[in-house]
Structure 1
Amino acid sequence: MNEPAHERTAHLDETGVRINAEQRLYGIAAVITSRREHAEICDALRPMLLPGRTCLHHYDETIDRRLSIAKVITRLTLEGALVVVETTAPRQQERARTRLLTELLPRLQHQECVDHVVLESRAGSDKHDRRTLDRLRRSRVVTASLRVDHVRKDATPLVWLPDFIAGSYFAAEHHGEPEPWALIAESHLIDVRTIRDGE
């Protein structure tokens, strides 16, 4: 991960899985890329779309398709990825998202040398992310030079990457589907961290 800051972007997306009636596992993946590789990454992912679809979404794919997509991802040039996970109550997803973004954004800027973060838009809920970013800037945890944008999932194939990586991790850990995650994790540097109460 030695790319200059002005060349590095992180694309983020969320996923989750119900553990039981009272607990849900919520996670956000951040995939770090060099902007000079973006065109090549997009060109590799677009052919994986099924007719009539505008984006790849891990949840919507069959097991065979997930394996095929994972094999394509293994060949991509990625700078690395982060996955942060927290156990939360089913109705506290927004709180968990705030906490995980508070963990991710400073690391992306200060440790991973990212200057642009792109999140999948959640329409009206994007205001919560902007509040989190404003709070981090006011407290000087991140600086104004960290640009953060929200885009629709069909805006760029780069947004499909964090969805697929997070989904593959959760499928391996909780749905007995280890193969796609194993392929991706063997091919790319991915740091997985569970955030616990008190951290």
Structure 2
Amino acid sequence: MNPPSSAYVDESMLLTHGVYLMAAMFVAPHQTDHYRTELRALLFRRQPRLHWRDENDKRRMQLIEAVAALRPAGILVASTGLDAKRQERARRKCMECLLWELGDHHVNDVVFERRGQLDRRDHELVAVLQGRHAMPSKLVVSWCDPMAEPLLWLPDIIAGAKSLAERGDHRFWSQVEGGMLVRAIDAR
């Protein structure tokens, strides 16, 4: 039996296409130090963190090749029908689906990228889902700053690659999609 993993979660939005993506990457306890070391090695001098949207295509290729070499596995929830005025609704729908799915994947801890004041909404949703038994009771959910946790860079890169694929550019996503379970939901 596989030891319990942690899942690191980040999202990407594609407002022009009405898509909200939420990626959760599995990291087993024996992988954490290695993954952190590999991700930090990708930083340029004085670069505080990796962030997909800040990179050009050449750099994105370097990042996706390095991530693909780690043989990542995870779940990506793709919500269509995103209304730009209802982004939080799409996020809630994705979180609900994702947290339920994680119960089937030997995940005990879920770490979301911190969003400041907006985290309160996530905390409220988790409490509601726990009260409705709509997420596994064993899941421990927390929020962390991506500057402090390089493992949050993994889902950022994966969600960014899928976002480009949604626009028709599959160069990056094709390198990592094999390890990803994709769930499509409607955000309406």
Q: TM-score range by the shorter chain?
A: over 0.9
- How far apart are the structure 1 equivalents of 2:115 and 2:53? 17
SS at 2:92's partner residue?
helix
Sequence identity percentage:
28
Partner of 2:175: 183
Partner of 1:89: 83
C-alpha contact (below 8 Å) 2:50/2:153 kept by paired residues: yes
- How far apart are the structure 2 equivalents of 1:55 and 1:184? 21
SS at 1:48's partner residue?
coil
Q: 1:9-48, aligned counterparts within 5 Å?
A: 9-19=6-16, 24-48=18-42
- How far apart are the structure 2 equivalents of 1:197 and 1:131? 19
What amino acid maps onto 2:56 in structure 1? T
- How far apart are the structure 2 equivalents of 1:57 and 1:70? 12
Report the TM-score, using the length of structure 2 for normalisation. 0.93
What amino acid maps onto 1:177 in structure 2? D
Q: Does 1:126 align with 2:97?
A: no
C-alpha contact (below 8 Å) 2:93/2:187 kept by paired residues: no
Q: Does 1:147 align with 2:140?
A: yes
Question: Which deviates the most, 89-98 or 49-58?
Answer: 49-58
1:167-194 CA-to-partner distances (Å, cap 9, x unmatched) read: 00111221x4322211122xx4211222
- How far apart are the structure 2 equivalents of 1:143 and 1:67? 36
Structure 1 residues 10 and 197, CA gap change in structure 2 (3 angstroms): closer
SS at 2:133's partner residue?
coil
1:149-176 CA-to-partner distances (Å, cap 9, x unmatched) read: 10111111100000100100111221x4
Partner of 2:186: 196
C-alpha contact (below 8 Å) 1:37/1:77 kept by paired residues: no
C-alpha contact (below 8 Å) 1:57/1:160 kept by paired residues: yes
C-alpha contact (below 8 Å) 2:71/2:176 kept by paired residues: no
C-alpha contact (below 8 Å) 2:89/2:187 kept by paired residues: no
- How far apart are the structure 1 equivalents of 2:95 and 2:16? 22
C-alpha contact (below 8 Å) 1:41/1:77 kept by paired residues: no
What amino acid maps onto 1:192 in structure 2? V
Partner of 1:104: 98
- How far apart are the structure 1 equivalents of 2:112 and 2:14? 20
What amino acid maps onto 2:57 in structure 1? I
- How far apart are the structure 1 equivalents of 2:93 and 2:61? 31
- How far apart are the structure 2 equivalents of 1:54 and 1:27? 24
Report the TM-score, using the length of structure 1 for normalisation. 0.88
Structure 1 residues 197 and 48, CA gap change in structure 2 (3 angstroms): closer
Pairwise CA RMSD: 1.6
Task: Give the paired residue count.
Answer: 187
Deviation of 1:144 after TM superposition, in Å, equals 4.1
**Structure 1 residue ranges without an equivalent (≥5):** none
